[in-house]
Amino acid sequence: MQNSIPKDIRRSRFTRILIKIGSSLPLNPEEERRRISAVFILLTIMTATALFSVYHFYSREYFIVAWDGLGFFVSLFILFYLRKREKTEAVYWMLGVGLILFGSITTILGRTEISIFFWAFMLPIACFSVMGDKKGKVFALLFFCINFFLMIAPEQMMRSKPYTHFIIIRFSIVYIIITFIVYYYELSQQMLINYIRQEKEEFANASKLDPLTGLYNRREMWTSMEGERERQLRLSKPFTIILSDIDDFKHVNDTFGHDSGDYVLITISRLMKDMVRGIDFTSRWGGEEFLIMLVETDLDDGQKVAERIRKKIEDTEFKYNNVNIPVTMTFGLSVYKEASDDIEACIKRADQALYKGKHQGKNMVVAA
């Protein structure tokens, strides 16, 4: 039910605004999530530096105003750069370095005005949100080491008194706690995203495959044949359709049971898949029928492949519950090589060849 809801309705208005600001290109879900975090952080920095620049201007602290302006315009540049890029790993690294520099400046300024130092606690949240769990961990640790040095640096070096031991210890404890909380939250988000991605892939594969044999189903095979037809029109290379049917399969089910019939279908599917190339397509066409598409293969080579499969099935011992089951197959072939040809007509020719083989004694390969 959730998937039937339009994507834009499921998102909040604020999230949609952040996505539009952060990218003019379509993004995958993971990149979109990171992009939202990056845009939110950049907008926060721009807002903060704009407000601080006004405050520092009226306080006649023009040097700090210049730094505020630099932070604002660098953030604005990164924001515009992000909009035109689909993958921006380098920008995230730049943003991570920028966050460390920003945190270091707040630590230095906090030596004279402790309230400025509170911004340092935002660093692990920002790093993990933009960089992910692995790189975020590195950046958070790097900032902690730099920050710890800046806090204990002597007055002669920094021209201001160092932080008290009480503040350093309290900062270290709180920073580590925040880092662990954010890290495990980000880790759980990654696990959830991977789980959802895996579920989507499994669902997509399940919709393409026959549940019993694991081969392509009829619908997916049609899609593959249409794609190969488009490719044939460009490259003028033929492909061969092999339509096959298990001989007297109803007798197998009636005599040995439906479980035995399923065993035969599964075994034949494995044999067929093993005996064609990786670029070829094998499907369960319906019931006891199978359809194989041999890519870039003419009729003569297609007959050779079909004959090898026929012989392999004839020579294979099908044994279920210690009972031997006699199994043979009949094959009908047709080749698609003309631009004016039609896939449905090609399959019909293969079906007619199969029908002919059935009436000529079964267990044979017949080409149209």
330: β partners: 245
Decide: 36 and 22 in contact? Cβ < 8 Å: yes
State yes or no: is 307 an active-site residue.
no
Residues 6+ apart with CB under 8 A from 228: 239, 281, 293, 295
CA distance 165 to 16: 45
Q: What angle do CA 135, 140, 144 make, to 5 degrees?
A: 150
CA distance 248 to 329: 9
Query: Which 8-state DSSP code applies to residue 209?
Result: B
Q: Which of 288, 289, 307, 317 is catalytic?
A: 288
Q: Which of 256, 357, 223, 263 is nearest to 303 (CA)?
A: 357
Residue whose token pair is 């023009």? 62
Query: Which 8-state DSSP code applies to residue 216?
Result: B
Active site residues: 288
